[in-house]
Structure 1
Amino acid sequence: MIDLQQLLGHPIPQGRQKLSRKDAALYALSVGFGQDPLDTRQLAFVDPVKPGMPILPFMAVVLAPNGPWIADPALGIDYGRVVHGEQSMQFEAPLPADAEVVANLRVVHVVDKGEGKGALMVTEKELLDAVSGQRYAVLHSTLFLRGNGGFGGPSGPVPAVHALPERAPDHTVDLPTRSEQALVYRLNGDFNPLHADPAVAAKAGFSQPILHGLCTLGLCGHALLRTLCGYDPARLSSLSLRFSAPVLPGDTVRVELWNDGSFRARALERDTLVINNGKAGMRQP
């Protein structure tokens, strides 16, 4: 069972990573950039040899991981039943090539939904330059702890989500995923066997290994950059969304966008909503 005070005060190891152009190119490839060999706007993000290669701001979500702290038995979290529910990011400065970054992570809020109903845990992560202390991004994750309700914690407040416009989207972008895409994306550092091992996926109730939710986030970020930002990563100031269902590698992800930065996404062939309540903040060009 969760000990709330211990969880809120748990010392989480600082993450540290040397960010290279090769890392940035791998991340861009893993979320679908470069599939069109004639689209030079996409190719700019996957060519680590060319000077001035831009780095995708939402790559912040995979940088400087803080280790498997959540699986520490002392915390009482049923790690095998944890689901990533929501993710938000605020981008404060462009990510650097060939620099070292550090990440400070803390638990900021826990909501007890009741016995048999699970709990919500919100974490905050600051991504900083290891030398100058420049803050590049602030990330908030909401995790659904399905096996941890009823520990006597607060029943709220529950983080609010963005309400989508009640009209047809202004734009639609279809992004195909590849059958091996989860195997490529996991090279960013998330080696959960659910995304690679058919037996583990079957035990979890899936017909095949599923795509990482954060890879689907990257697909949505791609659609936003293409449609609303002219492939200029400096224009994207924030990104938030709710995960609704997994994508299967090979699905076509249809991202529906509104001009105010609202968006959602569905797996087209299965007509399944996979991302909901999305909102991007944008700077003027």
Structure 2
Amino acid sequence: MAIDLDRLMSWPVPEGRQTLTSKDCILYALGIGLGADPTDERQLRFLYEKDLRALPTMAAVLAYPGFWQRDPALGLDWVRLLHAEQAVEIHRPLPVSGTLTGRTRVTGVIDKGAAKGALLFQERRVEDADGNPICTVSMTSFCRGDGGFGGPGGPVPEPAAVPDRAPDTVCDLPTLPQAALIYRLSGDFNPLHADPAVAREAGFERPILHGLCTFGVAGHAVLASCCGYDPDAIRSIRARFTAPVYPGETLRTEMWVEGPDDVRFRTRVVERNVVALNNGQVRTSAPVRSAADA
């Protein structure tokens, strides 16, 4: 079944509603690997309910509407769908509790051709119970099996450029073998990340890590290396997904300071020397701090 462009563009994505609790914030932080050193007080502020803070990249999972692309009426080959790009813009410090609503809309679909798949763009605006904006979450999906439906061939937004020089700082962070099984409890229950049979059907040797988990690990690296573990320092973060990660692998985030409020980054899998995240950019609300100042 081919994509029906008009139907997809006007699809009523279910409204995401979430009663956020401190447990959700702690579970998210554990899912992206914080707590490897349980005595690190800089990390404990995201793991312990005393003076708890939410990690900036948690914006990506707030008021999530669920895996709505699985609806057969859309005609998407959802088993072959991959996360291509992610961006979050934070409008105010993320809460650690409260009632949140997320309203998602499809903002565009690009047909790359029958053998090249399609790109699906969506945006979610998250508000608190009083209607105040919390964050805007933008996501691009690569629909590997859905190209050639006759849709527009562009334009495609330009990614952030990564400098062609040695990084200013590097941060290695391990992932747990069970990382995907923990992370999925933050709302993304796509079986690709838990069911070996579904993973093999999609062409992977075993379940892969959620792209947003990799995104969170990279955000942790920037937070630790350039922002002094201050969650209020990050006002936006975006990146392009370029290769899958398997739970248990080590992620090395390379960072370049391109201005007082501009950090570019790239994340690679150490064990296989493949780039998993590229064209990353963090915009900060305060001057970038070095790892030595963290």
TM-score range, shorter chain: over 0.9
Alignment of 1:138-217 (within 5 A): 138-217=136-215
Question: Which whole-Å CA distance do the structure 2 matches of 1:218 and 1:277 have between them?
Answer: 15
Q: Which residue pairs with 2:73 in the alignment?
A: 74
Taking structure 1 as the reference length, the TM-score comes to 0.95
For 1:284, the equivalent position in structure 2 comes to: 286
How much is the aligned-residue C-alpha RMSD, in angstroms?
Answer: 1.3
Q: Identity percentage over the alignment?
A: 51
Q: Give the distance between the partners of 1:147 and 1:188, measured in 2 at CA.
A: 27
| Unaligned ranges ≥5, structure 2 | 288-294
Q: How far has the Cα of 1:87 moved from its partner?
A: 0.5
Q: 2:70 and 2:194 mapped to 1: Cα distance? A: 20
Is the aligned partner of 1:263 residue 2:270?
Answer: no
Tell me which residue corresponds to 1:272.
Answer: 274
Per-residue deviation, residues 208-249 of structure 1 (Å, max 9, x unmatched): 322111100000010011011100011101000011111111
Correspondence list, 1:1-285, <5 A: 1-48=2-49, 50=50, 52-129=51-128, 131-260=129-258, 261-284=263-286
* 1:77–1:164 CA distance, 2 compared to 1 (3 A): same
Q: Is the 8 A contact 2:192 2:207 kept in 1?
A: yes
Q: Distance in 1 between matches of 2:122 and 2:162?
A: 24
Shift of 1:117: 1.7
Structure 1: how far apart are the matches of 2:249 and 2:68? 32
Aligned pair in 2 of structure 1 residues 113, 207: CA closer, same or farther (>3 Å)?
A: closer
Q: Which moved more, 1:67-76 or 1:270-279?
A: 67-76
Q: Distance in 1 between matches of 2:3 and 2:205?
A: 32
**Alignment check: 8 A CA contact 2:239 2:278 kept:** yes
Which consecutive aligned stretches of 4+ in structure 1 deviate over 4 angstroms post-superposition? none
Distance 2:64 2:11 in 1: 16
Instruction: State the SS of the aligned residue for 1:163.
Output: coil
Which structure 1 segments of 5+ residues have no match?
Answer: none
Amino acid in structure 1 at the alignment position of 2:280: G
Distance between the aligned counterparts of 1:165 and 1:67, measured in 2? 36
Compute the TM-score of the two structures, normalised by the length of structure 2: 0.92
